[in-house]
A and B are shown apart, each in its own frame.
Chain A
Amino acid sequence: TQLLEQSPQFLSIQEGENLTVYCNSSSVFSSLQWYRQEPGEGPVLLVTVVTGGEVKKLKRLTFQFGDARKDSSLHITAAQPGDTGLYLCAGARSGGSNYKLTFGKGTLLTVNP
């Protein structure tokens, strides 16, 4: 059983389109992070959210942490080919070790020119 479920697993869109990917769990997390991973490289942190209901914007990317801290979403506006990559969510479980992150399987995004 995957603790963090990410959907969709694969997403292929055209440049300029908007998209949302989701990260869901039945468990509560004290914090949640989103990473992007490109082929042959390690994941790179995009954002950390810690407060239920929190919304963070990073240029064309908008991240939201659910009120109950069990889910999160990433919305990309006007996607560009450079957004292509594997998007991973990772959470630190409430009551667990602060340093031990649980990762989802990721959403593989392809933005076609």
Chain B
Amino acid sequence: GAGVSQSPSNKVTEKGKDVELRCDPISGHTALYWYRQRLGQGLEFLIYFQGNSAPDKSGLPSDRFSAERTGESVSTLTIQRTQQEDSAVYLCAEGASGSRTDTQYFGPGTRLTVL
């Protein structure tokens, strides 16, 4: 079966431009996470969606970052007015329940480069 997919796989943009990153889910998974992975760093939690509950946005680094998810379908992460420090790999992960023992299934990530 298909795994979690993300698009684009690579994105190069100029400072100040907006970018939209997409995550396509595995059917039936209710929990969805976005992470940021900077070079040489661990994964940094950004946002969490669980079904129709209000998302946990506590990890978003600034108001330039936003994310949406409709039901249990596609999610998009939008970064407005990109800055060079936004350069990183952005990973989407899904889980069946969002519990502490849940298996998170990661997509391959989108590598964002801000020039």
Binding site for B on A (CB under 8 A): 2, 4, 30-31, 40-45, 48, 50, 88, 90, 92, 97-106
* Given A44-B106, A90-B43, A105-B41, 6 extra CB contacts under 8 A: A40-B108, A42-B107, A48-B101, A98-B99, A103-B44, A105-B42
Which A-B residue pairs are the 8 nearest by beta carbons?
A42-B106, A103-B42, A92-B100, A98-B100, A103-B43, A99-B98, A31-B100, A105-B42
Q: How far is the CA of A90 from the CA of B41 in the complex (A)?
A: 13
Q: How far is the CA of A98 from the CA of B22 in the complex (A)?
A: 25
Q: How far is the CA of A4 from the CA of B45 in the complex (A)?
A: 14
Tell me the number of A-to-B contacts counted with CB atoms below 8 Å: 64
In chain B, residues 51-75, which have Cβ atoms closer than 8 Å to a Cβ of chain A?
56, 59
Binding site for A on B (CB under 8 A): 4, 31, 33, 35, 40-45, 48, 50, 56, 59, 91, 93, 95, 98-104, 106-109
Q: How far in angstroms is the closest Cβ of chain B from A104?
A: 5
CB closest residue in chain B, given A29: B100
